[in-house]
């Protein structure tokens, strides 16, 4: 069975852009947990947060992860909050190489500043929110199989770094 590659990390870590590049290089499909949830629910994540709340979203996320963890040969991009539930990491590791894309809050902020689709960053001070979330979540991100520092690297360089470990 061929493993999945699973990308974790905070909003702005580059999970989608690196994931798409990796999928192309490996000739794997690219799957994104947020996109799957939006497709199956028929509404945007921001709408789910607004009408049903974050707890409801986390349940959908957990169920989605449990299901896709049984896949093979997929590059999977996870939502930034998915590892708040350690059960999700356990599932993702069953058949996946988990990869933490690490960056400082300042770098993450510079990458998300122009985007408006993330409900948790619609606050007065998104940088402070990113710092708070990183503080809360990083201990679980660091339990990933590999940690890739993404500062000052191109998407191509990051993807190649992951493939080297994956093919090892």
Among 6, 7, 45, 75, binds ligand S3P (CB under 6 A): 45
- What's the CA gap between 128 and 149, in Å, rounded? 21
Q: Which is nearer to ligand S3P, 12 or 162 (CB)?
A: 12
Q: From the CB of 79, what's the least distance to ligand S3P, in Å?
A: 2
What residue has token string 């049903």?
52
Q: From the CB of 167, what's the least distance to ligand S3P, in Å?
A: 26
Backbone conformation region of residue 128, classed left if phi is above 0, alpha if psi is from -120 to 50, else beta? alpha
21, 156 Cβ separation under 8 angstroms: yes
Binding mask 71-90 for ligand S3P (x = CB under 6 A): --------xxx---------
How many Å is the Cα radius of gyration of the chain?
15
Report if residue 120 touches ligand S3P, rule: CB under 6 A. Answer: yes
Q: From the CB of 168, what's the least distance to ligand S3P, in Å?
A: 27
Cα distances (Å, whole numbers) of residue 103 to 1, 40, 148, 159: 32, 31, 9, 15
Among 71, 107, 119, 160, binds ligand S3P (CB under 6 A): 119
* Binding stretches for ligand S3P (CB under 6 A): 11, 15, 34, 45, 79-81, 118-120
């Amino acid at each position: 069975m061929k493993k999945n590659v699973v990308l974790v990390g905070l909003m702005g870590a580059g999970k989608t852009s690196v994931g798409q590049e990796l999928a192309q290089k490996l000739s794997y499909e690219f799957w994104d947990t947020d996109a799957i949830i939006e497709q199956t629910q028929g509404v945007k994540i921001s709408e789910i947060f607004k009408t049903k709340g974050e707890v409801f979203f986390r349940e959908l996320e957990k169920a989605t992860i449990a299901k896709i963890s049984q896949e093979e040969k997929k590059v999977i991009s996870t939502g930034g909050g998915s590892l708040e539930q350690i059960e999700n990491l356990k599932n993702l590791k069953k058949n996946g190489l988990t990869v933490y894309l690490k960056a400082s809050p300042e770098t993450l902020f510079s990458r998300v500043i122009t985007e408006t689709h993330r409900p948790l960053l619609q606050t007065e001070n998104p940088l402070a929110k990113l710092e708070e979330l990183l503080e809360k979540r990083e201990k679980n991100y660091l339990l990933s199989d590999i940690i890739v520092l993404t500062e000052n690297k191109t998407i191509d360089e990051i993807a190649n770094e992951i493939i080297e470990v994956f093919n090892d």
